């Protein structure tokens, strides 16, 4: 399988973070100008964190931004390993976004219950304007891991059990939701991901193999 992808290389993680931050600003302005709202899904990880820090003083109309999360770990609220806690510390606590515009995954609940609640919320919007995604060394994205049943679900959000990375229980946006987004930006750094990235570019099939995606990488 060959996927349609554009690749933007960077010389450093810092340059990548700033480049993607600039893209988020442009995407937000376009969405707000055209539709009056910007629906943006955040990723976890080191590179996205640097990107969010770059956006803390960006010229974005935060009152018209709705933030979503690509996935969340089933951990207590406030746990430093949660993606929403990282996003709070790096960005959301520093901008004037209304709390009602932050759509958290209630992963402190049981995974299936939290996934159903997120399905209900996602069903209220046409689609996401921009999804930021990372890639694991096994080619997973969000919490959609190779050979995990959650990858095959048609639901807008899915419960993920038996994750190969702790914690074993998670909640993720479904593959259907990621593919339906108007724009997908993949942020890939780390030498350990080079092999999968090269296989992907040669037609390898991984969870992150989504057509019409923009890849931003230091590899």
Helix (H, G, I), strand (E, B) or coil at 42: strand
> pLDDT class for 1, splitting at 50, 70, 90?
low
CA 121 – CA 111 distance, rounded (Å): 15
pLDDT > 90 in the chain, percent? 91
Among candidate residues 72, 197, 69, 83, the one with its CA nearest the CA of residue 137 = 197
At 111, list the tokens.
């995974």
> pLDDT class for 2, splitting at 50, 70, 90?
low
71-73 sheet: strands from edge to edge = 71-73, 170-173, 157-160
pLDDT in tens, 136-172: 999 999 999 999 999 999 999 999 999 999 999 999 9
Give the CATH class of 5-217.
Answer: alpha beta
Q: How many CB atoms lie within 10 A of CB 18?
A: 17
Which pTM was predicted? Answer: 0.96
Q: What crossing angle do the helices spanning 13-35 and 46-54 adopt, rounded to 10°?
A: 60
3-state helix, strand, coil split of the chain in percent (to 5) is 40, 20, 40
pLDDT for the residue 46: 82
pLDDT for the residue 203: 86
pLDDT in tens, 48-102: 999 999 999 999 999 999 999 999 999 999 999 999 999 999 999 999 999 999 9
pLDDT in tens, 109-132: 999 999 999 999 999 999 999 999
For the chain, domain boundaries: 5-217
């Amino acid at each position: 399988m060959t996927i349609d992808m554009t690749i933007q290389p960077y010389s450093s993680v810092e340059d990548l973070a700033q480049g993607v931050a600039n893209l988020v600003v442009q995407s937000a302005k376009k969405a707000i100008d055209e539709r009056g709202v910007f629906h943006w899904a955040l990723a976890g990880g080191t590179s996205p964190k640097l990107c969010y820090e770059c956006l803390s003083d960006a010229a974005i109309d935060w009152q018209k931004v709705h933030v979503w999360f690509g996935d969340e770990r089933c951990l207590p609220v406030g746990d430093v390993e949660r993606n929403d806690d990282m996003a709070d510390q790096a960005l959301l606590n520093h901008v004037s976004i209304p709390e009602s515009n932050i759509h958290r995954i209630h992963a402190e609940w049981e995974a299936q219950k939290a996934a159903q609640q997120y399905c209900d919320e996602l069903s209220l919007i046409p689609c996401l304007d921009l999804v930021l995604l990372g890639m694991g060394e096994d080619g997973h994205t969000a919490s959609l891991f190779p050979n995990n049943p959650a990858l095959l679900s048609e639901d807008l959000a899915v419960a993920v059990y038996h994750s190969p990375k702790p914690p074993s229980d998670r909640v993720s946006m479904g593959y259907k939701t990621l593919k339906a987004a108007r724009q997908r930006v993949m942020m890939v750094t780390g030498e350990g991901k080079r092999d999968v990235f090269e296989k992907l570019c040669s037609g390898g099939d991984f969870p992150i193999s989504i057509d019409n995606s923009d890849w931003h990488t230091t590899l």
